[in-house]
Amino acid sequence: MDFFDVVRARRSVRAFLTKEVDAVALRRLLEAVTRAPSAGDLQAYEVVVVRHPERRRELARAAYGQTFVAQAPVVLVFCAHPRRSAGKYGRRGAELYCIQDATIAASHAQLAAVALGLATVWVGAFDDAAVADLVGGLDPVCIMPVGYPNEEPEPTPRRSVDELVHLERLPVNPGVGATARMGRGRPGSDLVRGDP
């Protein structure tokens, strides 16, 4: 698929076939993940591949009962690895770059999945501590069920380029800058909490 076709075709899919994910396809997806850019090329994230049905159910429970998490044959959990980034970048590495690294990597996974005929959904609503416990301790950024789609969702609306892109400078709106600054000043885990 052409890159722009992949971008256009991606949807959040929340219904999966029981069919196992092809091992070669999963490997290709994970290779695409590792090609993601990262701050200082430190790749300050880890990916946990969860296949065991009971562990998938536990992840679904930790995601406040989002049952499709357990339905997908593979669930990837992208975790930030603060210490990997903090060594070089200090607080900014621990609170921001490692989360950005994990986020970009997860985004690669979503697009690679489409190119491979697979489907995903980004799950950000979960109990941080419960998921961290399940996967072994690092800060979870995203739970990502992966499987063959069993639904074809319609595209969701998007703000237009004209609305959200600004020439040279944002329009005058003090609230925008203040929100962004608050977000950056908080500890890393706060950046992944909240209702998506």
| Contacting positions for ligand FMN (CB under 6 A) | 11-12, 14, 66, 121-125, 153, 156, 196
Packing angle between helix 98-115 and helix 82-92, nearest 10 degrees? Answer: 130
Shortest Å distance, C-beta 27 to ligand FMN: 24
Q: What is residue 14's three-state secondary structure?
A: coil
CB of 196 to ligand FMN, least distance (A): 3
Cβ nearer to ligand FMN, comparing 144 with 167: 144
Distance of CA 121 to the CA centre of its chain: 8
Runs of H (alpha helix) within the chain: 3-9, 23-34, 53-62, 68-71, 82-92, 98-115, 128-135, 161-164, 174-185
Q: Given the complex with ligand FMN, which of 174 and 196 has the nearer CB atom? A: 196
CB nearer ligand FMN, residue 40 or residue 61: 61
From the CB of 159, what's the least distance to ligand FMN, in Å? 12
For residue 111, which of 23, 17, 29, 48 has the smallest C-alpha distance?
A: 29
Nearest-approach distance from CB 142 to ligand FMN, in angstroms? 7
Measured from each CB, the residue nearest to ligand FMN is 124
- Residue among 3 and 41 whose Cβ is closer to ligand FMN: 3
The C-alpha atoms of residue 139 and residue 9 are separated, in whole angstroms, by 30
